[in-house]
A = this chain, B = another copy of it.
Amino acid sequence: MSTLAAPKTSFYDPQIEMAHGAGGKASRRLVEGLIAPLLLQHSNEPLGDAAQVCVNGARIAITADSFVVKPLRFPGGSIGELAVNGTVNDLAVSGARPEALVVTFVIEAGLPSGELEAEVRAIARAAKRAGVIIAGGDTKVVEHGKADGLYITTAGIGYPNPDLMLSPNSVRPGDQVLLSGPIGDHGVTILLARGELDLEADLVSDTRSVFPMVDALARAAGPGLRWMRDPTRGGVATSLNELAHDAGLCIFLSEDAIPIRDSVRGACELLGLDPLHIANEGQFLAVVEPAFAEAALDAIRRTPGGEQAAIIGEVREQPAGTVLSVNGYGGTRVLDMLVGDPLPRIC
């Protein structure tokens, strides 16, 4: 660890607000301004979904996420399933094969045991489906009113594919941007599940492991695969803005190529939200060298669940650090990161 200088922090917000947990600009300010400089050794490197560490000569991918989704259960999934798939996906898009998870529970006293059991079972099922083992965990209980039913944290380790060099720094102008499927399903499902809006839609969360798709893509594109990310909190727009910023390049999107279900589009229009800012839990973005783009797309589409994958844009040189989006009428707009927190506790 460098001891040359005390790490510099640059976080000046007086207190923590919901927006700091929303995955957008405020989250980035907190993580890059305070947490990464103090905690991470190489905090000048772009932050990925999982880190790699060396244990006795073996490279291991490692990641962790806490889950505070509200409500605990929603169409298509629940907090337990989310907690497994979220960590599995962070490993997958970092280029690692997910191997094992550890799970901790912070439980609010008074939670009916049946609700806990349902989530423990959901975790077991999701882990089996994703092909990971649960190696251990911990349980804490806090007084009634000091949590919201149940918070779950999962950490995971995986085996990094030694052939992949995924990094914003690997991305080049001309590279193609791929998306695994329709966006916004998870975020809108959660929003509607809260029942606070007079809206209904036949929609379920997309929570699932993306590893089978990522694995097929990696085999098809090999070293032509440059970068991946699962666009959860903050959505596709935030993930691509982080890429544009970290790579110092422009991401140019064809908005009409982005798969969005009518129900998601409709709900977003009514609520004044941009589907590109809505959280996904079972999708991923990939940047692929142009020569491999068609084969990569084909590989994802042939994997169950990846049928609607699409090439949604390309990497350009200028204007560096921005995401531009062109719609069907030829209008171009600058797509910003998520600002504020329109969708609290989505995962």
Contacts and interface: CB of A to CB of B under 8 A. Distances in A.
Q: Which 6 A-B pairs have the closest CB atoms?
A: A21-B141, A155-B155, A58-B58, A64-B102, A51-B135, A153-B153
Contacts of A1: 128, 133
B102 A40 contact: no
A62 B62 CA distance: 11
Interface string A159-174: 1000000000000000
24 contacts: A1-B128, A1-B133, A11-B117, A13-B113, A15-B113, A16-B112, A16-B113, A21-B139, A22-B141, A31-B139, A35-B105, A41-B133, A41-B134, A53-B100, A60-B157, A62-B136, A64-B136, A64-B153, A66-B105, A66-B138, A106-B151, A147-B151, A151-B151, A157-B157
Interface of A: 1, 9, 11, 13-22, 27, 30-31, 34-35, 38-41, 47, 50-58, 60, 62-68, 99-100, 102-113, 116-117, 120-121, 123-124, 127-128, 133-143, 145-148, 151, 153, 155, 157-159, 344-345
Contact of A120 (B18, B21, B35, B62): B35
B68 A106 contact: yes
A111 B142 CA distance: 18
The winner among A51, A67, A108, A155 for most chain B CB atoms within 10 A is A155
Contacts of A55: 58, 60, 99-100, 157-159
Given A139-B35, A148-B146, A104 B17 contact: no
Stoichiometry, as copies per complex, reads 2
Nearest to A148: B146
Contact of A38 (B13, B30, B121): B121
Contact of A21 (B14, B41, B107): B107
A109 B137 CA distance: 26
A56 B53 contact: no
A158 B60 CA distance: 11
A16 B105 CA distance: 12
A81 to B, nearest CB: 13
A153 B261 CA distance: 36
A127 B1 CA distance: 11
A143 to B, nearest CB: 7
Contacts of A20: 107, 139, 141
A88 to B, nearest CB: 14
Given A15-B110, A58-B57, A145-B145, A137 B104 contact: no
A107 B30 CA distance: 12
A113 B20 CA distance: 11
Contact of A104 (B110, B153, B158): B153
Identify the interface centre among A55, A116, A123, A158: most chain B CB within 10 Å of its CB: A55
B64 A139 contact: no
B100 A155 contact: no
A307 B142 CA distance: 36
A99 B57 CA distance: 12
